Amino acid sequence: MSTTTDLTLADLDLFAGGAPWGVFDELRATPGLHYSTEEAPNSGFWSATRYHDIVRILRDTETFTSTKFTNLEEVDPAMQDQRRSLLETDGLRHRALRRMLQGEFTPQAVAKYETFLRGITAKTLDAALAKKEFDFVEEVSADFPIRVLARLLGVPDSDTGQLIEWGNRMVGNTDPEHADVLIGSADSDEYKHVPFRSPAAIEVYEYGKHLAAERRGKGGTDLITLLADGVPSDGQPLSEHEFNTNFLLLVVAGNETTRHTITHSMKNLLDNPSQLEILRNDPSLIPWAVEEFLRYASPVYHFRRTATKDVEFSDTQISEGEKVVVWFASGNRDSAIFDDPYRFDVTRNPNEHMSFGRGGPHMCLGNALARIELRIMFEDLLTRDVTLERAGDLDYLRSNFVHGIKRMPVRVA
Ligand code: HEM
């Protein structure tokens, strides 16, 4: 059975205080997909909130394509090619591009950064803890993931501050604090061809172009050289648009997501002292705990697909061209899969969460990198002789795309 619901997940106010878990629970309780009608033309969408429905949609790219874009925004068809990255490409080209990049992101490939990661983790934590009372986001989570990406991309350390600012302005741009151009407002045509409709995206393109010009033909081993000089297995080098959009994707995809997972994980450990104790007593459990950190945080709320034909799916009649949104966060709380899903359990096993997607061709390319970052951060933090406690209210990002925490005051107890 499908329903039209008043609980519109496009309402950003619903997300202003964190995830609307109660709404997800209510939607999951009724089988089928649920339609949200929106006022703006072409903005209504189906929501898949059950784990099994989400997995089926992610795997069936013939029926549910990513090529019509993967967020709720309606992208002008004339602008789609300019804005298309790996995420919005399906089929052979997607496979060829992904194959070209994936060697850099396997567990074995990212393991070679272990010493580097331990070094910046220790430095970050030394500096933060010396302050005794600090904002965990600003001092610990915010800079760490982008410094790692900068290393992979081969971006100079001195430019990472600028990358952080661009990332905030793009991904968080539904939050008034970060907004350059609010989606849905009367923004200028100039920005309609760039992701997030954000002027910051244009600045990132310019910056990428400058780095590519520097690296092209020099035989470097960084990701920028790979994007600039690499030839995917279909024999077609990246077009200028593909270079721009994929450079930008690599800058943003692993930045906010990892940042917010680190913050949520700390918050969840502080809120659940018995779970913190388990890991303090046996840090060898941390690699498994990371899976629960990811499930419980659900840092990416959703992605969108578009139906390529009229289809009956899970008792719901979906028409060609309609948007279908998969709510990973809801799937991660589905009691059909997770025993007592609201229990934060660092020993949960099995834990087949969908924070990186689940099983489809777009499954997060950077998942091994994110996992090693989280493991090393908490292996260091939880084996120090120091106890943190919360020192003020949390501030959530106003976004239905990223489940983000903007501020989390803490102090050394
Ligand atoms: C795709 C989540 C970290 C790069 C995705 C998807 C999700 C996701 C949900 C889409 C999956 C799908 O549609 O099936 C996360 C989370 C992260 C994280 C929660 C951190 C906790 C990273 C990192 C990188 C990265 C560190 C490294 C650059 C990518 C790329 C894609 C992607 C390139 C597109 C893959 C494709 O379309 O084939 N990620 N991600 N992500 N992620 Fe991540």
pLDDT at 321 over 80: yes
Confidence of residue 197 (pLDDT cuts 50, 70, 90): confident
CB contact burial 326-365 (16+ within 10 A = b; e otherwise)? bbbbbbbbbeebbeebeebbbebeebebbbbbbebbbebb
**Which pLDDT does position 172 carry in this prediction?**
60
Assess whether the C-beta atom of 331 lies below 6 angstroms from ligand 1: no
Query: Is the beta carbon of 197 within 6 A of some atom in ligand 1?
Result: no
Per DSSP, the residues of 35-101 read EE--SSTT--EEEE-SHHHHHHHHH-TTTEESTT-SSSS---HHHHHHH--GGG--HHHHHHHHHHH
N-to-C CA span, the chain? 52
pLDDT band at 191 (very low <50, low <70, confident <90, very high): low
ipTM greater than 0.95: yes
Q: What is the Å distance from ligand 1's center to 159 Cα?
A: 23
Report the nearest-CA residue for atom 39 of ligand 1: 364
- Kindly give, in sequence order, each residue whose CB lies less than 8 Å from that of residue 214, ignoring residues fewer than 6 positions away: none
Residue 185 has pLDDT above 50, yes or no: no
- Answer whether the bond into residue 283 is a cis peptide, omega within 30°: no
Q: Give the per-residue pLDDT at 396.
A: 94
Ligand 1, closest atom to CA 85? 37
Ligand 1: does its nearest atom lie under 6 Å from the Cβ of 98? yes
pTM to 2 decimal places: 0.94
Burial of 130 (0-12, 13-18, 19+ CB in 10 A): exposed
Q: Which atom of ligand 1 is nearest to the CA of 148?
A: 26
d(CA 86, CA 93): 9
Q: Is 320 helix (H, G, I), strand (E, B) or coil?
A: coil
249 contacts 87 by C-beta, under 8 angstroms = yes
For the segment 351-392, what is each residue's pLDDT rounded down to a tens digit?
999 999 999 999 999 999 999 999 999 999 999 999 999 999
Residue 184: per-residue pLDDT: 44
Q: Is 368 in the pocket of ligand 1 (CB under 6 A)?
A: no
Is-contact 322 46, C-beta < 8 A? Answer: yes
Nearest to 311 by CA among 11, 53, 113: 53
What is the number of alpha carbons within 13 Å of residue 59 lying toward its C-beta?
9
Neighbours of 243 (CB within 10 A): 18
Whole-angstrom Cα distance, residue 305 to residue 85? 15
DSSP bridge partners of 135: 409
Is the CB of residue 65 below 6 angstroms from any atom belonging to ligand 1? Answer: no
What sections of 308-398 are H helices per DSSP? 328-331, 367-382
154, 144, 202: which is closest to 370 by C-alpha? Answer: 144
| Whether the predicted pLDDT of 142 surpasses 80 | yes
Give whole-number Cα distances, 113 to 110, 120, 126, in Å.
Answer: 6, 11, 20
Q: Could you tell me the strand order of the sheet in which 388-390 lies?
A: 133-135, 409-412, 388-390
Q: Cα separation of 318 and 348, whole Å?
A: 36
What rounded mean pLDDT belongs to the chain? 91
Q: Are 200 and 170 in contact (CB under 8 A)?
A: yes
